[in-house]
């Protein structure tokens, strides 16, 4: 991935997420919300969500997988754990991630513009790309509620 590039049209002016700690906190809260969501949690566990997000400009890696703990649907860790073998990997800078996770940026357009790198098999894309919208819904809600300036950074 190159440096963070502004995507035409879809993202407006405003402060972007610059800090690793800030994005990590947002993602952690998002996944906690997803995990305790009676609809999204079982659904994501059911599809066997196995995804690695890499945010190179903040040197942040997030691995998400179904939980082995019956009291949880998902488990996640912020570590470049190479023993974790994800079925799908998405690499994007924090500004693109913030827009994508708020549903403001099309993942496919991000790939076409080389702002997003996708690694995975077609079957994983068919399972996980629609399912990840549930994660995006929670992320958007959390950003709108607690970081409205970051919501502005994602445009419309």
Partner 1 sequence: MADDVISLSEAARISGVSSSTLKRWAEKRVVPVSGGRWTRAAAAQARVVARMRERGHSLGELRRAVRDGRLAFGYVEDLLPETHRVHSPAEAAERSGLEQELIERIMSLLGTPTALEGTLSEGDAAAMSLIAEVLKAGFPLVAVLQLVRVYAQSIRKISEAEVRVFHQYVHQPLIRQGVDALEMAEEMEGLVRDLLPLTSPLMEYVHQRYLRFYMEQDVVGHMEAELDPGTLGRVKMAFCFVDLTGFTRYTEEEGDEEALDLVERFVETVEATLPSKALIVKTIGDEVMIVSPEPGALTEWAVGFLGLFPERPQPRVGLHYGNAVYRDGDYFGNDVNLTHRVVARALGGEVMVTTAVVDGIGRSDYLKFDPIGRVDLKGLSEAVELFVAGAPDPQG
Q: How many other C-beta atoms lie within 10 A of the C-beta of residue 137?
A: 18
- Of 98, 96, 11, 83, the C-alpha closest to 52 is 83
Residue 22: which residues within 8 A CB-CB, separation 6 or more?
147
Nearer to partner 1, 125 or 152 (CB): 125
Q: How far is the CB of 95 from partner 1 (least distance, A)?
A: 17
Q: Which residues bind partner 1 (CB under 8 A)?
A: 9-10, 106-114, 116, 118, 120-122, 125-127, 129-130, 132-133, 156
Contact predicate 41/73, CB 8 Å: yes
Nearer to partner 1, 28 or 85 (CB): 85
Q: How far is the CB of 25 from partner 1 (least distance, A)?
A: 26
Q: Which residue has the tokens 């629609």?
A: 130
Q: How far is the CB of 113 from partner 1 (least distance, A)?
A: 5
Q: How far is the CB of 129 from partner 1 (least distance, A)?
A: 5
Nearer to partner 1, 67 or 106 (CB): 106
- Of 8, 27, 5, the C-alpha closest to 150 is 27
């Amino acid at each position: 991935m190159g440096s963070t590039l502004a995507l035409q049209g879809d993202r407006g002016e405003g402060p972007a997420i610059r800090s690793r700690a800030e994005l990590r906190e947002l993602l952690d809260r998002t996944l906690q919300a997803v995990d305790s969501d009676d609809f999204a949690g079982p659904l994501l566990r059911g599809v066997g969500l196995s995804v690695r997000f890499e945010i190179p400009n903040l040197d942040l890696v997030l691995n998400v997988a179904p939980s082995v703990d019956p009291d949880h649907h998902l488990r996640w860790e912020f570590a470049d754990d190479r023993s974790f073998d994800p079925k799908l990997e998405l690499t994007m800078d924090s500004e693109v991630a913030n827009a994508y996770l708020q549903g403001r940026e099309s993942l496919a357009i991000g790939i076409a513009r080389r702002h997003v790198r996708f690694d995975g098999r077609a079957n994983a894309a068919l399972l996980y790309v629609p399912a990840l919208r549930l994660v995006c819904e929670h992320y958007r809600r959390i950003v709108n509620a607690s970081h409205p300036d970051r919501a502005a950074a994602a445009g419309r």
